[in-house]
Amino acid sequence: MQARHSGDTSSGKRIVISVDAMGGDRGPAAVVDGMAASAKKNPEIGFIVHGPRAELEPLIEKRKLGSRCEIRDAERVVAMGDKPSHVMRQGKGTSMWSAIEAVRGGDAQAVVSCGNTGALMALSMVRLRKLEGVNRPAIACLWPSRNPGGFNVMLDVGADIRADQDDLLQFALMGTSYARNGLGLERPRVGLLNVGTEEHKGRAELKVAHDLMADAAPAGQFDFVGFVEGGDIPSDRVDVIVTDGFTGNVALKTGEGTAGLIRDLLGEAFRYTPLSRVAALLALTSLKRLQKRIDPRRVNGGVFLGLNGTVVKSHGSADATGFSAAIKLAYRLAESGFNQRLAARVASAGAHRQDTATETSGESR
């Protein structure tokens, strides 16, 4: 089964997404259903699908995706409990390895996987390598907010629990590029997450990172708003929130849990009495609008930033709707040439800092 990886479409060359069909909680059927939903909405998207051919072929034929897909047989699967170090040594032949290789070889423009996050990051770093000048890759996620576009960007949300001042500055630059290409923001506003907005608060590396971001803002074409607090994450005060992976991951999981709690409590409240059920019917349109705003499936997909290739991590529990959202994000970034622009942004920032350091050194002599 071979996809037509290129050819005339309404706007040019087909964008090919490499899909790791295995490793998710719901199995490959949910992945293929998500692909079908994306293919229906976008005639310019093609797929290379990785996993056991015998299992994938009937699913793909059932959804009539044969002309849009190429299957690359990969019998082995990276399990959620596998250690990243083990996968790095023994992962060849898995669907995850094969999916990343398609991007590395230039056959696809982005990879999407709902498998083991640590293993996906480890394999991506080994096979795709870091961009020149990047110390630590980061995972960026979209967060529902009061901004006109409906979302903010936050990074890092779990690639690495450590981050010094230079890493945080790079996160700011990468997050700015993501907001510009993913959300269409000409000049994103960047904030540094802290325990307070006062400049004297926080760890030493945060204070240094604060000054570095303020200095880099003009050349980086972003507005630095200074320190922000947890309550600012969904606000309209900022577009990009920068933090370390430990803090970002805790915030992300807390936000997802809170959204689920609100949804459940609303359901219980409107089922509590016959009168409340009537009220629910009267408010049905508003409730559906709220449900859509806080539905985590709509923003499914964390982007690995700082690699020589676009990698989107879908939630392991994603259903067809969630996986389709991750594919949509990967497509949008691939179509915009995001990774090439990000590489240029990082290189430009590195050259600027080197020039500044040289001038400072010259003045001190």
pLDDT digits (tens, 9 = 90+) for 230-239: 999 999 999 9
233 and 315 together in one domain: no
Instruction: Specify whether 112 is located in the same domain as 53.
Output: yes
Whole-model pTM?
Answer: 0.80
14: DSSP letter = P
Amino acid at 69: C
% of the chain with per-residue pLDDT over 70: 86
Element (H, E) at 271: helix 245-271
Q: Which of 166-180, 196-210, 274-288 has the lowest mean pLDDT?
A: 274-288
261 and 130 co-located in one domain: no
Range of the domain at 286: 135-302
Same domain (yes/no): 180, 149: yes
Whether residues 142 and 129 fall in one domain: no
- Residue 17's nearest CA partner among 107, 127, 115, 114 is 107
Write out pLDDT tens, residues 74-116: 999 998 888 988 888 888 999 999 999 999 999 999 999 998 9
The tally of domains found in the chain comes to 2
Residue 191's pLDDT is what? 96
So what's the pLDDT on residue 84?
87
In the chain, % helix, strand, coil (3-state, to 5) comes to 50, 15, 30
More confident residue, 181 or 125: 125
Q: Are residues 202 and 83 in the same domain?
A: no
Indicate if 357 and 263 belong to the same structural domain.
no
According to the model, what pLDDT value does residue 240 have?
A: 97
CB atoms within 10 A of CB 226: 15
Using the 3D structure, point to which of 248, 274, 302 is the last residue of a domain. 302
Tell whether 213 and 245 lie within a shared domain.
yes
What pLDDT, on the 0 to 100 scale, is given for residue 313?
92
Indicate the residue type of 329: L
Q: What is the SS3 assignment for 24-42?
A: CCCCHHHHHHHHHHHHHHC
Q: What is the CATH number of the domain that holds 193?
A: 3.40.718.10
Same domain, 263 and 331: no
